[in-house]
Chain A
Amino acid sequence: MGLNRRDFFKYVTVAGAAVAGSGQSAQAWQSRAPSDPVGSLVDLTRCIGCRKCEEACNRVNDLPAPDQSFEDYTVLNRKRRPDERAYTVINRYTSGMIDERDQLVPTFVKLQCMHCQDPACVSACIAAALTKKENGTVHYDVTKCIGCRYCMVACPFEIPAYEYHNPITPKVMKCTFCYERVQSQNKLPGCAEICPVEAITFGRRSDLLKVAHDRIKSNPGRYVDHVYGEREVGGTSWMYLSAVPFEKLGFNTLPEQPIPRLSETIQHSLFSYMWSPIVLFGMIGGVMWASKDKSDRVENGKKGGAS
């Protein structure tokens, strides 16, 4: 005995109603980005690859000592990623540009958490351990973290690292934007403070954008006309200026739409006020009640889901 035509029609109608209903309560997605966050502008044409920022970051965040000293520049011979022992790293790229003595001109790229305006990790975090602070910092609170690593899946910059070798109390490790120093002690982030060539400018994001565009305008030919982080994934607090096209420096090309937009829109349209589960419950209840009437005299539900 299979489903007959009439039943089939009934279920298709129910399913159709559910799908149609899902569109009705869809609301426009709203960014929750802070209006006037701080940020940092990294001018890659100034960076000399001295790794002082790595050293300062290690010191102010009490990170474990590195395997190779911060004065050892052979680490630049390979591409590194921030990891659970280093919130920021410098990589060296040679793009083929040569100077007046025919020497290859290296470009140094500092990597760290970008502190997105609409961070995917914050949207994804199962327990709100990651939050976007009013000052723009993407902040990690280990006391809420369960270690699901969904933030790492979500991050378009592949930044959060994990203490995989801690069996019981591992943490997600990423740049803190020196939240305590900046908020409570009125200091600069460790890396921005120490940079000897002012490659890192710390300030209001809106001011930094003006500075960035001024530099591009007043130094024709020096920069590519692109502030990386101005629009990428809806904007980031860390932004970059470069002489070399960003895609040649390991920066990935990203959409301008904030990453959480699609999943949050779907979740919100389906589950605001739990309307769809309630409607579905009602519909299934109705079907159950209707089927009970016409089906055999067996008590439906007697012996639970199991008789």
Chain B
Amino acid sequence: MTHQAAPVNAKFWTPGVVVLAILMAAGAAAIAARFIGGIGYVSNLTTARPWGLWVGVDVASGVALAAGGFTTAFLAHIIGRHYYESVVRPALLTAMLGYTFVVLGLMVDIGRSWAIWKPMIYWNPTSVLFEVAMCVMFYLNILYLEFLPIVVERFKGRVNLPGPLAALNSPVEGLLGIADAILPKIMWFFIIAGVVLSCMHQSSLGSLMLIAPTKLHPLWYTPMLPLLFLTSAIAVGYPMVVFEATLATTSLNLDSEMKVLTPLTRITIFLLGLYLALKVGDMVVRGTYVYLFDFTAQTNSFLVEMLFGVIVPWLMLLSPVVRRSRRALFVACTLIVGGVLVNRLNVFVVGYRPPISEANYFPAIGEILVTVGFIATLMFLYRFLVTYLPVLNKPEQEVSA
């Protein structure tokens, strides 16, 4: 199969990239402060509020918004919709970077970063977090493996290491050759395993909070949380692809991929609709709609999440005009992405209220800098990798059908 992905031919140090570099430096300073003064030095985390912005955004939202990786892999490689091939590589790159930063975020958030390997030895099968950690670990490695063919494609037959490293040219070339020979034969296993692992930990991320029935607001606390997390992750997969593809093609002056994105979001109507139905059904069955108009910070946040994150974009997507308009589709998909982000923040931060100490929490500037720095680094690496590796589609060419 011929494909059209190619390194992007554009200047790297644009003003946007410089801004990213500045944000990265600020984040690096905050991370240095965390490892010198401790978590308490840069964050507002307390005994009553042990999880905050880092878990809510870097970990929980990071995992959810990386769902484009396994949802596009399912579409293109498992049910064989090769029409969508052109978005698989960027989605895979986003997922790979997303999960990498989930782990980096965890390294900052956990107190003993150097001990992160210990759950591999000391198993606790009753722990939902243990299962999530194992899945994320395996899946991250699968993502690297799935990305490897892109690296092989770029460098096979062209390995030219600088200076004294040149002696390694032929061994590296040999490794790439072996990878190129073996990977296509075994990749089916890892593609399926990637989807299975994703379903497991996307849902289990929701199970995490089931251990805190007295703390999580009843609008979110439901035995259905794992199912809601899974369906919302699957539903946000394609909108995340649209979000990311629109940003990339705009900022890099590439061809718009509307021919692929428009049909992709038709599937989202069903997926997001299913999530909406489950969410509303759960609310009706448990009778939690009585809290809807309490107008506290928590219930308002729920209304924002549902209204602007699910209902409005779902109604927008119903219209073919919206699905065909690049701008309107981008708005709808951004709302869905934002809705999932707000949902994860609500479940892990806003909706979490310890009843005894009633402690409030708002992220400290240090926490915000770390999170912003990580997001900036992720975008920087995305920009860097699409510049040097064949990820995005070459301009001026038809997408394959």
User: Which residues of A approach B to under 8 Å, CB–CB?
Assistant: 1-3, 7-8, 81, 83-84, 120, 122-129, 144-150, 152-154, 156-158, 160-170, 250, 252, 254-255, 259-260, 262-264, 266-267, 271, 276-277, 280-281, 284-285, 287-288, 291-292, 294-296, 298-307
B174 at the interface (CB under 8 A from A): no
* Complex CA–CA separation, A280 to B112 (angstroms): 35
**B81 interface contact, C-beta 8 A:** yes
Question: Contacts A125-B124, A284-B78 hold; do A305 and B115 have CB atoms under 8 A apart?
Answer: no
B146 at the interface (CB under 8 A from A): yes
Chain B 25-63 interface mask (CB, 8 Å, partner A; 1/0): 000000000111111110101111011000000000000
Would you call B122 and A123 a contact (CB within 8 A)? no
Cα separation A1 to B69 with both chains bound (whole Å): 20
Chain A contacts of B184 at CB under 8 A? 299, 301-304
Instruction: Tell me, in angstroms, the Cα distance from A19 to B190 when the chains sit together.
Output: 24
Chain A nearest CB from B115 CB (Å) reads 4
Q: Which of A83, A294, A304 contacts B149 (CB 8 A)?
A: A304
Q: Which residues of A contact B34 (CB under 8 A)?
A: 167
Within 8 A of A (CB), among B133-187: 133, 145-150, 153, 183-184, 187
Given A127-B118, A128-B123, are A292 and B191 also a contact pair (CB < 8 Å)? Answer: no
Total A-B pairs in contact (CB under 8 Å)?
258
Give the docked Cα–Cα distance between A298 and B84 (Å). 13
> Which of chain B's residues have a CB closer than 8 A to the CB of A154?
211-212
Near A by CB (< 8 A), chain B positions 172-213 give: 183-184, 187-188, 190-197, 199-200, 204, 207-213
Interface string of B99-138 (1 = CB under 8 A from A): 0000000100111111110110111111111110100000
Contact call B146/A305, Cβ cutoff below 8 A: yes
A255 touches B213 (CB 8 A): yes
Q: Min CB distance, A262 to chain B, in Å?
A: 5
Task: Name the A residues within 8 Å of B43 (CB-CB).
Answer: 164
Please give the distance in Å from A98's CB to the nearest CB on chain B: 27
* A281 with B192, Cβ < 8 A, contacts A125-B124, A167-B36, A260-B126 known: yes
Interface centre among A1, A2, A146, A252, by most B CB within 10 Å? A146
Residues of B within 8 A of A170 (CB): 38-39, 111-112
Contact B38 A252 (CB under 8 A): no
Q: State whether the Cβ of B73 lies closer than 8 Å to any Cβ in chain A.
A: yes
Among residues of A, the one whose C-beta sits closest to the C-beta of B110 is A147
Indicate if B320 sits at the interface (CB-CB under 8 A). Answer: no
B1 touches A126 (CB 8 A): no
Q: Interface centre among A1, A145, A254, A303, by most B CB within 10 Å?
A: A303
| Chain A contacts for B114, CB-based, 8 A | 168
Q: Give the distance in Å from the alpha carbon of A300 to the alpha carbon of B88 in the complex.
A: 13
A128 vs chain B, min Cβ distance (A): 4
CA–CA, A162 and B110, complex, Å? 11
Total count of chain B residues near the partner, CB < 8 A: 96
Given the complex of chains A and B, what is the CA–CA distance between A30 and B130 in angstroms? 20
Q: Counting CB contacts under 8 A, is B296 at the interface? A: no
A291 and B79 contacting across the interface, CB-CB below 8 Å: yes
Q: Which residue of B lies closest to A250 (CB)?
A: B356
Nearest CB on A from B359, distance (A): 9
Indicate if B362 sits at the interface (CB-CB under 8 A).
Answer: no
The interface residues of chain A lying within 8 Å CB-to-CB of B80 are 288, 291-292, 294-296, 300
Interchain CA distance A303-B123 in the complex, whole Å:
35
Q: List the B side residues contacting A129 at CB < 8 Å.
A: 122
| Other-chain contact of A83, B47, B215, B352 (Cβ < 8 Å) | B47
Closest to B227 in A: A19
Write out the residue numbers on chain A whose beta carbons fall within 8 Å of the beta carbon of B3. 303, 307
**Are A306 and B88 also in contact (CB < 8 A) when A150-B127, A154-B212 are?**
yes
* Min CB–CB distance A139 → chain B (angstroms): 14
Task: Verify A260–B211 contact, CB threshold 8 A.
Answer: yes
18 pairs, A vs B, C-beta closer than 8 Å: A1-B263, A84-B47, A129-B122, A146-B110, A147-B111, A150-B129, A161-B47, A162-B45, A168-B35, A266-B210, A266-B223, A271-B125, A295-B82, A301-B187, A301-B191, A305-B92, A305-B194, A307-B149
In whole Å, how far is A131's beta carbon from the nearest beta carbon of chain B?
A: 9
Other A-B pairs beyond A81-B356, A266-B210, 14, CB < 8 Å: A1-B83, A83-B47, A149-B51, A153-B212, A156-B212, A170-B111, A267-B131, A276-B200, A277-B196, A285-B192, A287-B78, A291-B79, A305-B73, A307-B85
Q: Is the CB of A128 within 8 A of B83?
A: no
Q: Closest approach, in angstroms, between the C-beta of B80 and any C-beta of chain A? A: 3
Kindly report which residue of chain B lies nearest to residue A157, judged by CB atoms. B356
- CA of A205 to CA of B61, assembled, Å: 44
Distance of A167 Cα from B77 Cα, bound (Å): 45
The chain A residue sitting closest to B90, CB to CB, is A306
Of residues B50, B80, B153, B188, which shows the largest number of chain A Cβ atoms within 10 Å of its Cβ?
B50
Say if the beta carbon of B344 comes within 8 Å of chain A: no
How many Å lie between the Cα of A152 and that of B45 in the bound state? 11
Question: CA of A304 to CA of B187 in the docked complex: distance in angstroms?
Answer: 5
- Contact status A124-B211, CB under 8 Å: yes
